[in-house]
Structure 1
Amino acid sequence: MRHALLFYCRAGFENDCRQEWEARSGQTGGWESEPGFALFKPGKGGEADPNPPEPKELIFARQTLHVLADVQLGEKDRLTPILDALKSSKISAFNGVWLEHPDSDAGKPLSGFTRRFTDIVEKALNERNLIDPKARFRLHLFFPSMTRALVCSVDPEVAASPWLMGIPRVRMPSEAPSRSTLKLSEAFMTLVPDADQLLKSGMTGVDLGAAPGGWTFQLVARGLKVFAVDNGPMKGDMAIHPHVKHMREDGFKYKPQHPVDWLVCDMVEQPARIAQLIAKWLASGTARHAVFNLKLPMKKRWAEIERCFELIDQTMNAAHVRYALTAKHLYHDREEVTCYLTRLKAPRR
Structure 2
Amino acid sequence: MSESLLLSCRSGFENDCAAEIQFHANQLGISGFARTKNEQGFVEFECFTAGDALAIHRKLDFRELVFTRQWQVVYQKLHLNPDDRISEILSLSQSWGKCSQFAQDYPDTNSGKQLSGFCRKFHKPLQKALVPFLESSSDYILQLFWLDSQMLYLGVRLASNSSPYPMGILRLKQPSVAPSRSTLKLDEAFAVLLNEDERARYIQPGQHAVDLGACPGGWSYQLIRRSMYVDAIDNGPMAEHLMESGQLTHYREDGFKFVPSRKNVSWLVCDMVEKPSRVTRLMLKWLLSGWCKYAIFNLKLPMKKRFAEVQQDLSLLREELSQTGYRFEVRAKQLYHDREEITVFACLHRD
Alignment TM-score > 0.5, same fold: yes
| Alignment match, 1:327 | 332
CA distance in 2 between partners of 1:336 and 1:247 (Å): 26
Q: CA deviation at 1:181?
A: 0.4
Within the alignment, does 1:130 sit opposite 2:133 as a pair? Answer: yes
Partner SS, residue 109 of structure 1:
helix
| Alignment match, 1:169 | 171
Of 299, 303, 306, the residue aligned with 1:298 is 303
Of 62, 65, 68, the residue aligned with 1:55 is 62
Between Structure 1 and Structure 2, the one with more helix by share is 2
CA distance in 2 between partners of 1:231 and 1:141 (Å): 49
2:102/2:141 contact within 8 Å kept: yes
Partner SS, residue 11 of structure 1:
coil
Within the alignment, does 1:231 sit opposite 2:235 as a pair? Answer: yes
Within the alignment, does 1:78 sit opposite 2:80 as a pair? Answer: no
Deviates more, 1:279-288 or 1:303-312: 303-312
Deviates more, 1:300-309 or 1:70-79: 70-79
Q: CA deviation at 1:282?
A: 0.3
Q: CA deviation at 1:44?
A: 4.9
| Alignment match, 2:257 | 253
| Alignment match, 2:35 | 32
TM-score under structure 1 length normalisation? 0.93
Within the alignment, does 1:152 sit opposite 2:158 as a pair? Answer: no
TM-score under structure 2 length normalisation? 0.92
Tell me how many residue pairs correspond in the alignment: 341
CA distance in 2 between partners of 1:306 and 1:30 (Å): 19
| Alignment match, 2:200 | 196
Residues 322-344 of structure 1: CA deviation (Å, up to 9, x unaligned): 32100000000010000000112
2:318/2:330 contact within 8 Å kept: no
CA gap 1:273/1:309 in 2 versus in 1, 3 angstroms:
same
Residues 11-45 of structure 1: CA deviation (Å, up to 9, x unaligned): 11111111111112214423333511111111259
2:317/2:330 contact within 8 Å kept: no
Q: CA deviation at 1:8?
A: 1.2
CA distance in 2 between partners of 1:151 and 1:196 (Å): 37
1:328 partner amino acid: K
| Alignment match, 2:20 | 20
CA distance in 1 between partners of 2:31 and 2:110 (Å): 29
Deviates more, 1:217-226 or 1:12-21: 12-21
What percent identity do the matched residue pairs reach? 40
Q: CA deviation at 1:309?
A: 1.7
Deviates more, 1:138-147 or 1:52-61: 52-61
CA gap 1:18/1:101 in 2 versus in 1, 3 angstroms:
same
Q: Which runs of 5+ in 2 are unaligned?
A: none
Let me know the Cα RMSD of the aligned residues: 1.8
Within the alignment, does 1:143 sit opposite 2:146 as a pair? Answer: yes
Q: CA deviation at 1:313?
A: 3.0
Of 179, 182, 187, the residue aligned with 1:180 is 182
Residues 63-102 of structure 1: CA deviation (Å, up to 9, x unaligned): 1211222111123222222123224x331x2211111111
Residues 139-176 of structure 1: CA deviation (Å, up to 9, x unaligned): 111101222111121221x2121110000121211111
Residues 292-349 of structure 1: CA deviation (Å, up to 9, x unaligned): 0000011100110111123223432454443210000000001000000011246xxx
| Alignment match, 1:102 | 107
